[in-house]
Structure 1
């Protein structure tokens, strides 16, 4: 029995054939009642996809099974929906610029919050659980990328390299235990005096930084800083964050085939954040003090690096030379930590 009330005409296609059916539409509570020659159905309005009103264009009702109904009397159909409140909120939302703008801002805020808090939190968990074999693989591939794009073989004599490796054996954790890492040497015409750590504990010292330092203690301060990045898994966390953002993008746009292949490059080009640099500096102060090396050496070398950095553009690499925060500000903060005995 057809419900009483407003009735509008439409053309129905069942989605299985090209045959059209002239039908009438009416509302029975929260259900849309469709009736015509050879077809009759009731569907909850909430599960239907109804096109938004656009001038005098026909309204389209899309059903879950692929059927479609075209309603040319758009005004009559609006009145039908409004008669029992079925289209009121949606119509107002679509017609209100304030609601549209507020909705867009809400979505943008949720995305920003996810990127700012959610992604780093998830990345921290991923980095903590990453298998050692995968860490070694990423580190090896990252060094290959760097060797290909930015680095050249070291020109330091083997005896000098060996002497620095022996000096590095003095480094101890705050608890006094030896620190496990591998010290390697490279040169770079583009990076200048710099050093960086790979997630597996490989510390790369550049010849230009060795030449800048006045003594080995200053170089050990650099190594201690880079070990702070390793200890807190900063490189892995950055890589996991980049992969998470990339995954969201590829989920939206498609093509995830190259995501893991680009991870070493992302790691190689990543900047450390202010938080990461501060954490590594604090870790270095504790390591130097436990190793019997004056922590002031770190601040001294940071000031020397600040002088060499003037006029140089960042190379996009997250090593000791990273300018976030500024090197002089970091040096002053290290002095404060040393004076406070922390």
Structure 2
């Protein structure tokens, strides 16, 4: 054991440092130097852990400190205090290139797992805990913003809108939480042929989508897909997954009202973001389940998806799109193939 070491002493009253010797006396530590002769109980000392090659501080109860690079001496004091084991292991890891690289890989792996699995899990938990009144308010405000920015009143005949509302109501009745769910019709060049769901259960269908469909079975498939988004809270979960601070506050403290602080970004989420593959698959599966239950060939939905995608690509060449507004259906061929496989 190293019995003593040299150090720079600061008395806590002035910035002047003086050279001293620290001596381990077993249960106490003595500090000796020119005009200095002090003793402290070992249990009263606070000793900084190792940090690379940085000189460490030994802190005394009267505010004085000693600065030294005698790591072994300080490590022994920490050991006898019953402290420092964790930091000694950390220092060994950071002193070894191989261990440091391994720690980096483990850190990156942990971050990847948290982002890929932890964040979606927390987002789902928070989304389903959101009070219905808050969700309804978010839906109404989002629709108002979209109406101001990119949507226009529908030009569909009133009778046609009534027919599609009856179709939507017959589909939504399957869900016990359907109170407040509704279908809205809008037009707008920036949107094109599209349908999308707001958090409160408002499903927006554009005039061009209705015109693009060859029959109501195709529209029913699209509506079932959007109802799947509503039922699984996809819009809200997507918002939360991209708002980490609000998500952590909501799930760790139970303060669900903190989500309201990011609710204003919902229109941007719907306009600029793309749903993840898993969200689209869940919504597609909901559409397939509905169509099979009604005895409607699933192929009509697959054909509608392909036709929508072709229309979107054509519009990209001819019409400027508002941040590729609501074009939230990537890799359409993969989705069409999967829908057809599930139809068997």
TM-score, normalization by structure 1: 0.75
What is the deviation of 1:82? 7.2
What is the deviation of 1:118? 1.6
What is the deviation of 1:201? 0.9
Could you tell me whether the CA contact under 8 Å between 1:187 and 1:206 is conserved in 2? yes
Q: Over the residues paired in the alignment, what is the CA RMSD in angstroms? A: 3.8
* Residue in structure 2 matching 1:10, options 7, 10, 16: 7
Q: Which runs of 5+ in 2 are unaligned?
A: 250-257
* Residue in structure 1 matching 2:329, options 320, 323, 330: 323
Deviation string, structure 1 residues 25-46 (Cα, Å, up to 9, x no partner): 24567x8835243643345799
Aligned to 1:146: 146
Aligned to 1:80: 73
Taking a change above 3 Å as real, the CA distance of residues 336 and 92 of structure 1, as seen in their structure-2 partners, is closer
Could you tell me whether the CA contact under 8 Å between 2:3 and 2:23 is conserved in 1? yes
Q: Residues of 1 paired with 2:108 and 2:241: CA distance? A: 19
Count of residues in correspondence between the two structures: 317
* Residue in structure 1 matching 2:305, options 297, 302, 307: 302
Aligned to 2:275: 272
Q: Residues of 1 paired with 2:173 and 2:188: CA distance? A: 30
What is the deviation of 1:139? 1.7
Taking a change above 3 Å as real, the CA distance of residues 114 and 62 of structure 1, as seen in their structure-2 partners, is farther
Could you tell me whether the CA contact under 8 Å between 2:213 and 2:219 is conserved in 1? yes
Taking a change above 3 Å as real, the CA distance of residues 334 and 144 of structure 1, as seen in their structure-2 partners, is same
Could you tell me whether the CA contact under 8 Å between 2:185 and 2:206 is conserved in 1? yes
Alignment of 1:214-233 (within 5 A): 214-233=214-233
Q: Which runs of 5+ in 1 are unaligned?
A: 250-257
Taking a change above 3 Å as real, the CA distance of residues 236 and 119 of structure 1, as seen in their structure-2 partners, is same
Aligned to 1:183: 183
Instruction: Write 1 or 2 for the structure with the bigger share of helix.
Output: 2
Could you tell me whether the CA contact under 8 Å between 1:186 and 1:204 is conserved in 2? yes
Alignment of 1:224-303 (within 5 A): 224-244=224-244, 260-266=260-266, 267-268=269-270, 269-291=272-294, 293-303=296-306
